């Protein structure tokens, strides 16, 4: 079973502060993704990466940066957190199979 | 962009009843997948079904590509089936998914 772990699992941040959400996978998957989920809605893709040291913009990249320093690690960075970025963030990985493996989510509250 | 619409938005069943969840999408490009979100938030993949019918346990996924629709059938529902079911349509890479808003299922004993 593929393992994707996220940290922190929850965080309260102040408006204008910097937030880093981390994701680690242990199955040598090439592709990694960051999605956000707003209450009562589906997931939307923020950034993704298919190789270390490279990231791509997803559907809603504004206000977010991503970093893939190694195959195992993928971070999502909010340089200036805003109230509208309050959400649950999910990391996922995939490698040519038909299953996307999700982490357990990081709940971010910006105050 | 890709639009994914799910219906119903919510559904309440008595244990043992069947459920039919619908998914309609705007493009013929599918890579349709179904996910289940536990009440605690964890997401698991149920089906990858670009076309045709697939079964696993009490779940059946049917995708009719040329009609731009998919469905998830749950037979003999159990309380542990409660949660939210998402339909998602893929892009060029499997993980580039467009999600519907989900169907929240509540199964009462």
Preceding peptide of A8 cis, ω within 30°: yes
Rounded Cα distance, A71 and A51, in Å: 7
Residues in chain B with CB shorter than 8 Å from the CB of A66 are none
Residue A103: predicted pLDDT? 96
| Between residues B20 and B92, the one the model is more confident about | B20
Alpha carbon B15 to its chain centroid, in Å, reads 19
Is A54 in CB contact (< 8 Å) with chain B?
Answer: no
Residue A23: predicted pLDDT? 98
| Between residues B109 and B1, the one the model is more confident about | B109
For chain B, first and last CA: distance in Å?
41
Rounded Cα distance, B61 and B70, in Å: 7
Per-residue pLDDT of chain A (111 residues), as tens digits, is 659 999 999 999 999 999 999 999 998 899 999 999 998 788 999 999 999 999 999 999 999 999 999 999 999 999 999 999 999 999 999 877 778 899 999 999 999
Q: Secondary structure of chain A in the HEC alphabet?
A: CCCEEEECCEEEECCCCCEEEEEEECCCCCEEEEEEECCCCCEEEEEEEEECCEEEECCCCCCCEEECCCCCEEEEEECCCCHHHCEEEEEEEECCCCCCEECCCEEEEEC
Whole-number mean pLDDT of chain B?
A: 92
Is B108 in CB contact (< 8 Å) with chain A?
Answer: no
Q: Are B27 and B68 in contact (CB under 8 A)?
A: yes
Query: How many contacts (CB atoms, under 8 Å) link A and B?
Result: 56
Residue B28: predicted pLDDT? 67
For strand B52-56 and strand B59-64, is the pairing parallel, antiparallel, or unpaired?
antiparallel
Q: Which residues of A59-83 are buried (b: 16+ CB within 10 A; e: fewer)?
A: eebeebebebeebbebbbebeebee
Residue of chain A minimizing CA distance to B98: A44
Pick among A43, A44, A47 to test the B interface (most B CBs inside 10 A): A43
> Between B48, B93, B99, which is nearest A42 by CB?
B99
């Amino acid at each position: 079973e593929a393992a994707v772990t996220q940290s922190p699992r929850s965080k309260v941040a102040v408006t204008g502060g910097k937030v880093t959400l981390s994701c680690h996978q242990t199955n040598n998957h090439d592709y990694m993704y960051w999605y956000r989920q707003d209450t009562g809605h589906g997931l939307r893709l923020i950034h993704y990466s298919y190789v270390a040291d490279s990231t791509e913009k997803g559907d809603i990249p504004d206000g977010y940066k991503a970093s893939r320093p190694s195959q195992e690690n993928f971070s999502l960075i909010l340089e200036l957190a805003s109230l509208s970025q309050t959400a649950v963030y999910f990391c996922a990985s995939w490698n040519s199979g038909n299953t996307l493996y999700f982490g357990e989510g990081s709940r971010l509250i910006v105050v | 962009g890709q639009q994914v619409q799910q219906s119903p938005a919510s559904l309440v069943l008595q244990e043992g009843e069947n459920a039919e969840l619908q998914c309609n999408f705007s493009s013929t490009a599918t890579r349709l997948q179904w996910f289940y979100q536990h009440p605690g938030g964890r997401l698991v993949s149920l089906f990858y079904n670009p076309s045709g019918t697939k079964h696993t346990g009490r779940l059946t996924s049917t995708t009719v590509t040329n009609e731009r629709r998919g469905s998830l059938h749950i037979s003999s529902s159990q309380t542990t089936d409660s949660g939210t079911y998402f339909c998602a349509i893929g892009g060029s890479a499997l993980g580039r998914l467009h999600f519907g808003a989900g169907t929240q299922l509540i199964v009462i004993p």
